[in-house]
Amino acid sequence: MVHLTADETALVTGLWAKVNVKEYGGEALGRLLVVYPWTQRFFEHFGDLSSASAVMHNPKVKAHGEKVLASFGDGLKHLDDLKGAFAELSALHCEKLHVDPQNFKLLGNMLVCVLSRHLGKEFSPQAQAAYEKVVAGVANALAHKYH
């Protein structure tokens, strides 16, 4: 369970309002596939992933990135119960998708990088600390139903 102070929660939700979920989601997932190439194995059926620019422009990667980030955004409404909020997705990623939960941490790092890149000065050290807590919490929640 993630414990955010009132200030941290305010920082997280305040900055989230400025996030372009479609754009940042596609970028975060694309960057994951470029920076950690082994993650491409989960998206072999997505078409052309043959170069960084192919990955970043791939419409399926963009669409899926948006979907993933939207679900992250939903999670932000349930910071007091991330495990409950992500229980079904956790079971899905374990039983059907067979994704090593380490990858949730990598994607979380990627999201923090994307936020840092876009938000610049606004992504203060305190904002970074709050978001790193949240992505760690989401990664744990997604791993919780693994068996």
Partner 1 sequence: MVYFTAEEKAAITSLWGKVNVEEAGGKALGRLLIVYPWTQRFFDKFGNLSSASAIMGNPKIKAHGKKVLNSFGDAVENPDNLKGTFAKLSELHCDKLLVDPENFRLLGNVIVIVLANHFGKEFTPQVQAAWQKMVTGVASALARKYH
Residues found near partner 1 in the complex (CB under 8 A): 30-31, 34-36, 52, 55-56, 109, 112-114, 116-118, 120, 123-126, 128-129, 132
Least spacing, CB of residue 49 vs partner 1, in Å: 12
Least spacing, CB of residue 127 vs partner 1, in Å: 10
Residue 138, classified by CB atoms within 10 Å of its CB into exposed (0-12), middle (13-18) or buried (19+), is: buried
Please list, in sequence order, all residues whose beta carbon lies within 8 angstroms of the beta carbon of residue 97, skipping any fewer than 6 positions away: 42
Q: How many residues are recorded in the chain?
A: 147
34 vs 99 by CB, closer to partner 1: 34
* Residue in the block written with tokens 């956790």: 90
Please list, in sequence order, all residues whose beta carbon lies within 8 angstroms of the beta carbon of residue 145, skipping any fewer than 6 positions away: 87, 90, 91, 94
Least spacing, CB of residue 95 vs partner 1, in Å: 30
31 vs 62 by CB, closer to partner 1: 31
Distance CA 113, CA 115 (A): 5
71 vs 128 by CB, closer to partner 1: 128
Least spacing, CB of residue 147 vs partner 1, in Å: 27
